[in-house]
Structure 1
Amino acid sequence: MLVMNYRYRIYPNFEQEQQMLSWLETCRRVFNYALRERKDWINSRKCPADRCSLQSEYIVAADTPYPSYYAQKKGLAVAKKENNWLKAVHSQVLQEVIGQLDGVFTSMKARGHGFPRFKKFGQYRSFLFPQFKSSPIQGRQIKLPKIGLMPIVFHRQIPDGFAIKTVRVIRKHSGWYISLCLVADVSIPEVPPHGRSIGIDVGLSYFLSTSDGEQVDRPRFFDKLHRKLELLQRCLKRKQKRSNNRAKLIQKIGRVHEQIAASRLDWQFKLAHHLCDQAQMIFAEDLDFRIMAKGFLGKHTLDAGLGQFLNVVLPWVCFKRGVYYAKVDPNGTSQECPDCGARVKKDLSTRIHECHECGSVKPRDVASGQVINARGLSGVQIASGRDLSGYQETDARQDRTKLEELKSNLEKPALYASA
């Protein structure tokens, strides 16, 4: 099954916009209440038996069960009978808020994170309709339960063979958007290794260096608008809280941040297509950029968007273009000579690779890209000898035919899904 998300701009009228703002505030209150209920139950089981806290203690009966996902959903149905403002929101929308909180707690236990934070006023910015009996698209409009019809901008049409599974309404500083989750009942095979390969090394001195010697300068999207943001935020400091002028200024600042993010994403997609034009296999390092974002170069790391490019943009473009994409072990890629394999130690200030064994001299990032390419090809050969043996050619040909038909639908879609 193939799943894709398409985002479109919508234009609700004044009554619909006020209704959706009210829904967001209700979802925020339900989220905070469910979070407080879980934290109180957990903290009540943590207090020492021989002493009390100097501030307060959480007292919950010993036989009170843990407020799990299904228990809180049941409690939500009971609360609707006592609070009319909960009835104004679609029932499944509020249930998805409980599901979102349960997913956060599951991730917290798995990764060892702290408790999720309470949402302040205006911080809850989206709600989800989890299912539809039929397509909500009606011509150039979309019909949402309890909200009604509103215009939608189809800057790209929904491909044939895809059905709308969920709809998420998103509030941004630039306006209202919806994210359509599209599903198609097709089986897409993974792109097999084939053709010419390149290795890429990402960094901050150069955004990207390939094994062919090409080096791409790092764009500075945030730095270009940093002065403008600095002036706007300085004005924001003098505004009275909860005033209309403060709200307008916050919206203006948010639009600048959206401009920065959109420019970065557009540039990364163009770069990904440029790389796919050069080779049929692309190898990159398997790095955790969250560690780099916490250091003294964190601002520049986040501005470059290295993790977004390697983990989101490039894999998706490679999938659409039929290019094989894989990651390799990053340990020691910059300390190894790509020509003879000797270990050449160098710190971050050394930007030229000079091998004392074979005399190779080249830019450090280019040498690292060549090492990454060699490791990727080595891994492909090992995997091909173990996993790809016995792969039936007829099945592969049928799968590739389905993939080509699906890609042609994505490139030349129908007008849009019928209602």
Structure 2
Amino acid sequence: MNYTYRIYPNVVQQTELLSWLETCRGVYNYALRELKDWIASRKCSVDRCSLEKEYIIPADEPFPSYHRQQNNLPKAKKQFPHLGKVHSQVLQNTIRRLHDTWEAFKKRGHGFPRFKKFGQFKSFLFPQFKHNPINGFTIKLPKLGEIPMNLHRPIPDGFKVKQVRVLSRVRGTQWYVVVTIESDISVPDVPVHGRAIGIDLGLQRFLTASDGSFQERPKFFKSMQRKLKLLQRRAARKQKGSQNWEKAQIEVARMHHRIANRRKDFHLKTAHQLCDRAQTIFAEDLNVTGLTRGMLRKDCVDAAFGQFLSLTEWVCWKRGVYFAKVNPNGTSQTCPSCLATVSKGLEVREHHCPECGYRTHRDHAAAEMVLDRGLENVVAQGLWGTETACQVGLSGVYDLDKWRGAGIPNREAGKPAL
């Protein structure tokens, strides 16, 4: 479990942190260069070489793996003394970060690791601590000393600090630490229980629940776009690389950071409101990557559906609420009352079924369909009714009431075979 805190390093510590980031960036790029050169030397056929360039690497040279590059760090410190100023485990974790990216690339088949430009390497990690580095309202980091921090929530009893990641935000003017804490207590998976609702995400209404409630979409980026455009215009008129240009860029970065914070705060509060109303939540398994490539990509990125679903899943786990995703195909084109197909375009905001006459808002009908699919999945998997031992011996009337409380229409009340 991760806790994020704001830290306030002094001028000397801030200069040291920026220097560490640049050193880690150099180590990352150097290790990636070795990796790419070794791969490029194996691209040519055995009977000919490349006409453009030739990589003179012996054929018996092994692959520059994580352990080989990590073992070369002590030799590199003798050749480049500035590497010794950075904690050794921080450099080792930088190599680990590159090879994790390399393994992820081989698994998915695309997204080859790229070189980090100036300012693109924004974090480094202290992977372990012998003692708790947090003392009051300060955190003690190796080779950096004690740094004041805003401990807005204390570390829970029974947890110990495992690792700390230092983050740079707003072009190195704001600093945060992500503290990873661990406990020996094992938390079981949350079972299906209580009142269930389905939610549908959209652009006109950010969220519509199956119980009829909805949440309007705050346009965080669009509401601040005019001011952001003004700041970007001012930055573009400055001489690139000057102090005034850097100040203008910091103002732009601070505005982006504020927009992201407001959006995340809204997502977390909305997720907690859902957990207050239900103990089982079903949502659509949206293709968030595809949504950011269409005509409405700016609105979809501003809404950040992927971040909201991830945060909702985390909040549900933390509060003991069951959360699951269902197939989103056809949820807005199917009548939740009679399951008939009702085709309608995006401009049609009302659902009216010609078969059964059911009429409601389009998003509300989709949310009801999400709930139906979610309950069908848990019944098919045998998950419904396993949350408590006191349910053994319950009458069928109580089971029907529980299904009706979950939002199932009367015509579906007797459908599940429990």
Verify same fold: TM over 0.5. Answer: yes
Number of the residue aligned with 1:23: 20
* Structure 1 CA distance for aligned equivalents of residues 207 and 296 of structure 2: 17
Q: Does the 8 A contact of 1:129 with 1:166 survive in 2?
A: yes
* Counterpart position of 1:93: 90
* Structure-2 separation of matches of 1:343 and 1:238: 56
Percent identity of the aligned residues? Answer: 54
The question of 1:138 aligning with 2:132 is answered no
Q: Which residue of 1 aligns with 2:265?
A: 266
Q: What is the CA–CA distance in structure 2 between the aligned matches of 1:295 and 1:348, rounded to whole Å?
A: 14
Q: 1:365 pairs with 363, 366, 372, which one?
A: 363
- Residue in 1 that maps onto 2:154: 157
In structure 2, relative to structure 1, the CA distance for the partners of 1:385 and 1:216 (3 Å cut) is closer
Q: Does 1:7 align with 2:4?
A: yes
> Per-residue deviation at 1:34?
0.6
| 1:238 paired residue number | 237
Deviations along 1:228-281, whole A, 9 cap, x unmatched? Answer: 111111222222232211211111111101100110111111111221222111
In 2, Cα distance between equivalents of 1:199 and 1:305 = 19
1:223 maps to 2:200: no
User: Is residue 2:311 matched to residue 1:307?
Assistant: no
**Which structure carries more relative contact order (alpha carbon 8 Å, separation 6+)?**
1
8 Å CA contact retained: 1:283, 1:372: yes
**Residue identity opposite 2:71 in structure 1:** K
Aligned-partner SS, 1:26:
helix
Question: 2:205, 2:102 → 1: CA distance?
Answer: 39
TM-score, normalised relative to structure 2: 0.89
Map residues 152-191 of structure 1 onto 2, 5 A cutoff: 152-173=149-170, 174-191=173-190
Corresponding residue number in structure 2 for 1:213: 212
**What residue in structure 2 maps to residue 399 of structure 1?**
none
Output aligned runs, 1:17-416, within 5 Å: 17-48=14-45, 53=50, 55-173=52-170, 174-311=173-310, 313-384=311-382, 393=389
Helix, strand or coil for the counterpart of 1:8? strand
Q: Answer whether contact 2:163 2:179 (CA < 8 A) is retained.
A: yes
Query: Residue 148 of structure 1: CA displacement?
Result: 0.8
Q: For residue 96 of structure 1, report the CA deviation from its aligned partner.
A: 0.4
Are the structure 2 counterparts of residues 52 and 351 from structure 1 closer, same or farther at C-alpha, using a change threshold of 3 Å? farther
SS in 2 for 1:384: coil
Q: CA deviation at 1:359?
A: 1.1
The answer to whether the Cα contact below 8 Å between 2:205 and 2:214 also exists between their aligned partners in 1 is yes
Report deviation, 1:304. Answer: 0.4
Contact 2:191 / 2:383 at 8 angstroms: preserved in 1? Answer: no
Alpha carbons 1:73, 1:98 under 8 Å: kept: yes
The gaps in structure 1 that reach 5 residues or longer are 395-419
Q: Tell me the distance in 1 between the aligned counterparts of 2:33 and 2:296.
A: 36
CA–CA distance in 2 between the matches of 1:291 and 1:49? 42
Tell me the C-alpha RMSD between the 2 structures: 1.9
1:385 Cα deviation (Å)? 6.0
Residues 47 and 57, structure 1, Cα contact 8 Å, conserved in 2: no
Letter matched to residue 98 of structure 1: I
CA 1:285/1:392 → structure 2, altered by over 3 Å: closer, same or farther?
closer
Aligned mates of 1:235, 1:187 — CA distance in 2: 53
Deviations 1:84-121 (A, max 9, x none): 11111110000000000000001101111232221111
The 4+ residue runs of structure 1 with deviation greater than 3 A are 48-55, 391-394
Q: Alpha-carbon deviation of 1:5?
A: 0.8
Cα gap change, 1:354/1:329 in structure 2, threshold over 3 Å: closer, same or farther? same
TM-score, scaled to structure 1: 0.88
Letter of the 1:103 counterpart:
D
Q: C-alpha separation between the residues in 2 aligned to 1:143 and 1:216?
A: 43
Contact 1:196–1:279 (CA under 8 A) maintained in structure 2: yes
Residue of structure 2 in register with 1:417 after alignment: none
- The residue type equivalent to 2:331 in the other structure is T
- Separation in 2, partners of 1:51, 1:293: 44
Give the Cα–Cα distance (whole angstroms) in 1 for the partners of residues 36 and 345 of structure 2.
47
With over 3 angstroms needed to count, the CA separation of the structure-2 counterparts of 1:283 and 1:392, relative to structure 1, is closer
Secondary structure in 2 aligned to 1:27?
helix
User: Could you say what secondary structure the match of 1:333 adopts?
Assistant: coil
Shift of 1:80: 1.2
After TM superposition, the structure 1 stretch with the greater mean CA deviation from structure 2, 374-383 or 162-171, is: 374-383
CA drift of 1:322 comes to 2.0
Could you list the per-position Cα deviations for residues 276-312 of structure 1 after superposition, in whole angstroms to 9, with x for gaps in the alignment?
222111111111201111222111111101111112x
What displacement does 1:204 show? 1.2
> Aligned residue for 2:393?
none
